[in-house]
Amino acid sequence: MKNFKKKQLNSSNGITLIALVITIIVLLILAGISISMLSGDNSILQKATDAKTETEKGQEKEIVALAYNSALAKKVSNGDSTPVTVGDLNLELTNHGASASESNPIIVTFTNSKRKYTINSNGKIEFAGTKSDDEPQEKTLLQALKDNDISIGDFVNYNAPNVSVTISEEDSGTSNQTINVTTEQSTSQMGWRILGYGNSNGELTLDKSKATNVLLISANGTEQYLELGKSQGYLNGSTILNEICTQFSSDKTNASNNFSVNKTTGRSVTIQDLYTEMNWKLETDKINDTYVYQNGDWVIGIPLTQINTNTNDSNRSERTIHTENVYSRQISDEEMFSSIIMYSNEFWFASKNSYVYNNAAYFALISFADSIQSALDMFCVNGNVSTNANTIRPIISLSSNTMYGLSDGEINKIDNPFE
């Protein structure tokens, strides 16, 4: 009996070595199967990654398709039968982290994923690979500004063409004048800075969602002063300023600068630009008196109540206006420091102004000088006339397809040339 119990005890001491080896082998096989399923080209993880990538590519292609179709629909509704352009696409892609670049076919690149898509002349969209890290990032200046690659206030390497504009005494109210600015002068003496976002009308806007382009402004005014005066200066001043500033824009490649900006437009800075930049409310007084333009000049020396605006005199070229007074404003040092527009000390705004003082109406152009935004009188209905001189500040509205940071046709930030 004792021997039987001993044998029974020995037979229940645990698994044998062979069983242990077999168990280990089975576990290794299972581990190998699991590892192969989780790694490699056909693994579960890789398939999940591929599925995510394909979903993202599908979403990006849909964004491109919607942008293309929206641009095409706008052209058709306007009776425009020309193909969709890079500029048209960039207007639609503004808020989608993507930009189109000039090519045949057009290439749309997404900033974050770096994936590229082509669009042929028939609107067919195809995946075109992923941009490698060592390739320059194709990005519009507008997208670069939104991505903080470049900032409002940064100096940039814009090279304006040579400018030469002649203004007659008849138009200016003072004398015959010629404003001459060379490319070298506009670069070294004036300089160019990012003013901010521009809307479809070329106006400065603080709303990124309404931005269709980027605005530049000369850091300093022109070296030459423009003299304006009398009623002609008031009537024609804004037009003259804008005509001069238009000449600082370029619509073709300037090979000598290895630089290209297509379809840029130019204009003068206005009082509205300043108030938009500073987020101030533009307060004005409406003056209900009406004035009449007669025989090439404003009626002067006649009490306002005696001006007959209903006369049928054939020698009278009638033009009536309701005047508006923009309040003068003393600018604080803090406001001056924070403003790009007020970086320059004195210049014209292409903005008219009028006001009544001692029962006489004064007509003026708005200017900035010595930390004060105020009006420079041109003439008064009591017979007084004045002439004033100031510098010119162009604003350049760059096209939506202006590229940033490329070797050809680039806009890039540079160090402050005046420090």
Three-state SS across the chain?
CHHHHHHHHHCCCCCCHHHHHHHHHHHHHHHHHHHHHHCCCCCHHHHHHHHHHHHHHHHHHHHHHHHHHHHHHHHHHCCCCCCCCHHHHHHHHCCCCEEEECCCCEEEEECCCCEEEEECCCCCEEEEEECCCCCCCCEEHHHHHHCCCCCCCCEECCCCCCEEEEECHHHHCCCCEEEEECHHHHHHHHCEEEEEEECCCCCEECCHHHCCEEEEEECCCCCCCEEEEHHHHHHHHHHHHHHHHHCCCCCCCEHHHCECCCCCEEEECCHHHHHHHCCCCCCEEEEEEEEEEECCEECCCCCHHHCCCCCCCCCCCCCEEEEEEECCEECCHHHHHHCCHHHCCEEEEEEEEEEEECCEEEEEEEEEECCEEEEEEEEECCCCECEEEECCCEEEEECCCCEECCCCCEECEECCCCC
Q: What pLDDT is stored for residue 331 in this prediction?
A: 75
pLDDT value at residue 419: 80
Look at 137-141, 224-228, 256-260, 356-360 and tell me which has the smallest mean pLDDT: 256-260
Mean pLDDT of 282-287: 60
Sign of CA dihedral 239, 244, 249, 253: positive
Average pLDDT of every residue of the chain: 78
Percent of the chain surpassing pLDDT 90: 27
Neighbours of 218 (CB within 10 A): 28
Q: Compute the distance between CA of residue 393 and CA of residue 221 in angstroms, rounded to an integer.
A: 5
318: pLDDT strictly greater than 60 = no
Any idea which of 37-41, 95-99, 314-318, 380-384 has the lowest mean pLDDT? 314-318
Looking at residue 397, its pLDDT comes to 92
pLDDT tens digits, 245-281: 999 987 533 333 333 344 678 999 999 999 899 888 7
Most trustworthy range by pLDDT among 34-43, 176-185, 331-340 = 176-185
Mean pLDDT score, 336-364: 82
| Structure confidence at residue 240 as a pLDDT band (50, 70, 90) | very high
> Span 333-356, mean pLDDT?
85
Q: Which of 307, 306, 279 is nearest to 291 (CA)?
A: 307
Predicted confidence at residue 237, as pLDDT, reads 93
Is the pLDDT score of 94 beyond 60?
yes
What is residue 314's predicted lDDT score, i.e. its pLDDT?
34
pTM for this model (two decimals): 0.66
pLDDT value at residue 190: 95
Neighbours of 381 (CB within 10 A): 23
Residues 6 or more apart in contact with residue 42 via CB below 8 angstroms: none
Strands 177-181, 163-167: pairing is antiparallel
| Non-local CB neighbours of 419 within 8 Å, separated by 6+ positions | none
Q: Which of 108-112, 140-144, 182-186, 309-313 has the lowest mean pLDDT?
A: 309-313
Q: Are 399 and 263 contacting, i.e. CB atoms less than 8 angstroms apart?
A: yes
Q: What is the distance between the alpha carbons of residues 162 and 160, in angstroms, rounded to a whole number? A: 7
Mean pLDDT of 384-398: 93
Length reported for the chain: 419
Question: Which of 16-25, 122-131, 168-177 has the least mean pLDDT?
Answer: 16-25
- Is 38's pLDDT higher than 80? no
Rounded CA separation 343/220 (Å): 7
Would the pLDDT of 392 be above 70? yes
Report the relative pairing of strands 106-110 and 115-119 from DSSP bridges: antiparallel
Higher pLDDT, 244 or 262: 244
Q: Tell me the average pLDDT across 2-18.
A: 57
HSE-up of residue 167 (Cα within 13 Å, Cβ side): 26
In angstroms, the CA 227 to CA 188 distance is 24
CB under 8 Å to 266, separation ≥6 — which residues? 245, 246, 247, 248, 249, 394, 395, 396, 397
Task: In whole angstroms, give the CA distance from residue 273 to residue 198.
Answer: 11
Please determine, for residue 407, whether its predicted confidence score (pLDDT) is greater than 60: no
Say yes or no to pLDDT of 223 above 90: yes
Q: Who has greater pLDDT, 47 or 339? A: 339
Q: What average pLDDT does this structure show over 223-251?
A: 90
Which band of pLDDT confidence, cut at 50, 70 and 90, is reported for residue 134?
low
Give the Cα separation of 171 and 407 in Å (integer). Answer: 43
Work out the average pLDDT over 6-33. 69
1, pLDDT greater than 80: no
> What is the separation, in whole angstroms, between the first and last Cα of the chain?
109
Confidence at residue 289, expressed as pLDDT on a 0 to 100 scale: 47
Pick the residue with more confidence: 336 or 409?
Answer: 336
